[in-house]
Amino acid sequence: MPDTLTKCPTGIHGLDTITGGGLPSGRPTLICGSSGCGKTLFGMEFLIRGIQQYNENGIFVSFEERPRDLAENVASLGYDLPGMIADKKLIIDQISIDRSEITETGEFDLEGLFIRLAFAIEAVGAKRVVLDTIETLFAALTNAHVIRSELRRLFFWLKEKGVTAIVTGERGSGTLTRNGLEEYVSDCVILLDMRVTEQVATRRLRVVKYRGTAHGTNEYPFLIDEQGITVLPITGINLSYPVSRELVSTGIDKLDRMLCGTGYYRGSSLLVSGTAGTGKTSIAAHFVDAACRRGEPCIYFAFEESPDQISRNMQSIGIDLASWAEKGLLHFAAFRPTSFGLETHLSTMLKLVEQIKPLIVVLDPVSSFMAAGTEIDARAMLMRLIDFLKLQRTTALMTTLTSAGHAAEQSEVGISSLIDTWVMLHNLEQAGERTRTLSIVKSRGMSHSNQARELLLTANGIKLVDVFVGPNGGILTGSARIAQEAADRATLVALNQDVARKQAALQRKRNAVLARIAEMQSELTVETEEVELAIAQQNSAASILVTDRTAQAQERENTGDQR
Amino acid sequence: MSDTASSMGWELRLYVAGQSPKSAAAILNLKKLCETHLAGNYRIEVIDLLESPRLSVDDQIVAVPTLVRKLPTPMRKVIGDLSDSERTLVGLQLRQTPKDTTLS
């Protein structure tokens, strides 16, 4: 039954991700590259991390540098080699062959080297061995035939010993190593490279060959800094990060309402683009201010202004960033993108993010990275940074400067696909003045406003004002908007006055009608009284008539008898 | 074998690894050479690295057999089984160049 390949973790940041677990365990690995690209440090870190993290002791066989120099070199990285040597965890063995004092005559082999190695391996129970740079043998000894066969034997011997070995080799012209070491070390070959593009040096690493296992085949940038080697896998991160459904406020009330009423998704990536002076930094300051008010730690990466300058400027719109910095919630990190290579910047930023664990990171502006490297490199770097921040569920707010005259959508096409929410700022120039407008180009996962708003920088922060659509379809901002507002007010006043007039007229009419009703009623009353009086008079007249007739009848009777 | 090394004597150390044919040849060749050129004025120490591996560090031994001239100083090393006695003599600075065959 075939054994599956076991891997020996290097502990070097990122390398174990690319190789899927580390170097082939119990086998030699060839690290080749031109001088100064980090081979020795690579080997040394492999040993040191083995001792510190995996409890595997190591041997460093140096054919070039003196042990003292090696110890001093890595002491700057915080590694205590003399301490490890004293603890019997590490042996640094220098093999120096001075060609000037050596004569070769007759047959020989390198058994002496084997014996030294075996002795050292046994002395500390080493599991890891570094041979740096074994090719020096070719320069020291003339009989290349013997060296070749002995090296072949050495690598077999190392395998038999079961130690994981790193063999370094100098890059040759047209071949991976000057003396073709890659012929002997066939399990794993890693190529280190340092290239200078537009005056910026970038170190790169590529796994040329890794027998029996899948591995990342790309060139990966790597860095050497005070924490040793860091390899940055571009595509090492798959798109499987969990997302938050929590909505948080932008700090600008009306912008929250333009998004979905509440704000942006925590952990999303936001881009604020605009030409010079459109208020990108001010918006970023609002985000930071809102986050700090919620008690969330923030990092503000400033690439064009000093922290002091940003704090001062933001004070003019009523945002006190300096006090958040004093409280320890806001961390400023300001540096010029052109000061280092992109990879160094990325690593610096990643480390700071890992250390501070912020909930929001501001990059102001990312467009300045385009100046530090090629556009492709800058884009790749931003992609890695955004991916990294997403994994950490950290909100990334990036500002980017779009040059006037370009279509903003076009110039930002590079990273816009990585962006969840894109706020675009415009500088409108009309009627002899410039006004700022804000609109939301996209916001994934929420129904956002598609209306432009006018952006006002006031002493109390950013205010977003509804804009007017002018008669010819354009929007009205600034004094045109104010004029329009005044005109609207006048119209409103006129309308109101008209209504009042009409209402008064109606009232008058009502009053007139009521008056007439009262008049007619009183007429009716008078008439009724008159009629009733007449009736009464007639009734009394009738009764008088009846009385009179009776009286006359009686009178007539009386007078008739007498005659 | 020889007189003890005088103040002007030669002190030679031969590193070998086990009883290989190369080791045996080197020992033989060395003894022959010393008897011819340094009679009575040399001392040979043969070190088997398999028995005392620690000693390989001091003289920076990588290849075997290696002959080390400890005295007179400066140190010289001759690598190989010493089968080419001319080259060995040059290596030990008993002779200036291989072409110079005259011995004073």
Identify the residue among A97, A108, A148 best suited for mutation to test binding to B, counting B beta carbons within 10 A and taking the highest: A108
Tokens 């040793």 sit on residue: A228
pLDDT at A49: 92
Q: Do A108 and B29 touch (CB under 8 A)?
A: no
Confidence of residue A404 (pLDDT cuts 50, 70, 90): low
Q: If we measure between CA atoms, which residue out of A450, A457, A116 comes closest to residue A281?
A: A457
Residue B40 belongs to some domain of the structure = yes
pLDDT at A521: 94
Element (H, E) at A495: helix A478-561
Residue B10 belongs to some domain of the structure = yes
Q: How far apart are CA A228 and CA A6, in angstroms?
A: 25
Element (H, E) at A337: none
Which chain B residue lies closest to A147 (C-alpha atoms)? B63
Q: How far apart are CA A453 and CA A463, in angstroms?
A: 9
Residue B96 belongs to some domain of the structure = no
**Domain of B80: which CATH number?**
3.40.30.10
Residue B28 belongs to some domain of the structure = yes
pLDDT at B80: 87
Mean pLDDT of chain A: 84
Q: Which of A7-11, A43-47, B81-85 has the lowest mean pLDDT?
A: B81-85
In b/e form, how buried is each residue of A451-474, taking b as 16+ CB within 10 angstroms? ebbbbbeeeebbebbebbeeeeee
Residue A36 above 50 pLDDT?
yes
- Structural domain tally of chain B? 1
Q: Do B66 and A103 touch (CB under 8 A)?
A: no
pLDDT at A537: 92
Domain hosting B48: range is 3-91
Confidence of residue A125 (pLDDT cuts 50, 70, 90): very high
**HEC sequence for A370-403:** HHHCCHHHHHHHHHHHHHHHHHCCCEEEEEEECC
Under 8 Å CB pairs connecting chains A and B tally to 99
ipTM for the predicted complex: 0.83
* DSSP state, residue A18: H
Q: Report in angstroms the alpha-carbon separations of A363 from A39, A172, A202.
A: 33, 41, 22
Q: Is A61 helix (H, G, I), strand (E, B) or coil?
A: strand
Give whichever of A2-6, A76-80, A300-304, A501-505 has the largest mean pLDDT: A501-505
pLDDT tens readout for residues A76-87 = 778 888 899 999
Residue B81 belongs to some domain of the structure = yes
Confidence of residue A48 (pLDDT cuts 50, 70, 90): very high
Residue B45 belongs to some domain of the structure = yes
> What letter represents residue B97's amino acid?
T
Residue B104 belongs to some domain of the structure = no
Residue B74 above 80 pLDDT?
yes
Across the interface, which of B49, B64, B79 has its CB nearest the CB of A102?
Answer: B79
pLDDT at A230: 79
Residue A97 above 90 pLDDT?
no
Q: How far apart are CA A232 and CA A221, in angstroms?
A: 6
pLDDT tens readout for residues B26-65 = 888 888 888 888 877 888 889 888 888 888 777 888 888 8
pLDDT tens readout for residues A338-369 = 777 777 788 788 888 888 889 999 998 888 87
Confidence of residue A489 (pLDDT cuts 50, 70, 90): confident
pLDDT tens readout for residues A169-227 = 888 777 787 777 777 777 899 999 888 766 667 788 888 888 888 777 788 888 787 77
Q: Do B64 and A111 touch (CB under 8 A)?
A: yes
Residue B58 belongs to some domain of the structure = yes
- Which residues of chain A does B18 touch, with a Cβ-Cβ cutoff of 8 Å? 111
